[in-house]
Amino acid sequence: MGTPRIKESGIVNVSFGENVTVVNPANLYGCSVGDDCFIGPFVEIQKDTTIGRRCRVQSHAFICELVTIGDDCFISHGAMFINDLFAIGGPAKGRKELWRSTRIGSRVSIGTNATVLPVNICDDVVIGAGSVVTKDISEPGIYVGNPARKLRSLPAR
């Protein structure tokens, strides 16, 4: 019988702003988290990722490399971000040049179990629970479904 390599989750090489709360267990490494953020349990935030100010990332969310999230955002339970589109018919297998980045604007809420592929999402957007965002979103509003489509506009702020 073999012996497994056991790696511990934890917080390594993270730049934190002021007044940040992280609930363990969490796995954060090589990322940046802005002021007044909350990071729930069982969250992974990978390197080269930036979380803006006053954001909440709820439990079981996965934020992969190359994601930038603006200020005042809410990432709900189980939300997933993807950076590898399987451009070669399967995983990039360490070929990071095949990965793509994601940019999330400010005041964006991403619902429970939503999946966000490498896209740009403008400010003031709500992504419904279970939705799959496959294309850029350039107009504020509520987006739902697979693939996510605009359901309606949001009231003026």
Per-domain residue ranges of the chain: 11-152
pLDDT of 8: 82
**pLDDT (0 to 100) of residue 1:** 86
Locate 124 and state its tokens: 């003031």
pTM over cut 0.75: yes
Tell me what the pLDDT averaged over the chain comes to.
96
What distance lies between CA 24 and its chain's CA centroid?
A: 18
Under DSSP, the state recorded for 153 is P
Span of 4-13, 39-48, 54-63, 100-109 with lowest mean pLDDT: 4-13
Residue 128: is its pLDDT beyond 80? yes
Torsion, Cα 44 99 13 31, to 10 degrees, reads: -70
> Where residue 62 falls among pLDDT bands split at 50, 70, 90?
very high
| Cβ-contact 149, 143 below 8 angstroms | yes
Q: What is the pLDDT of residue 93?
A: 87
Contact 86, 117 (CB under 8 A): no
Q: Say yes or no to pLDDT of 42 above 90.
A: yes
| Domain 11-152, CATH homologous superfamily name and number | Hexapeptide repeat proteins (2.160.10.10)
Q: What is the mean pLDDT of residues 1-9?
A: 88
| In the predicted structure, residue 7 carries a pLDDT above the cut 90 | no
What pLDDT, on a 0 to 100 scale, did the predictor assign at position 94? Answer: 80
Give just the sign of the alpha carbon dihedral 46, 92, 109, 58. negative
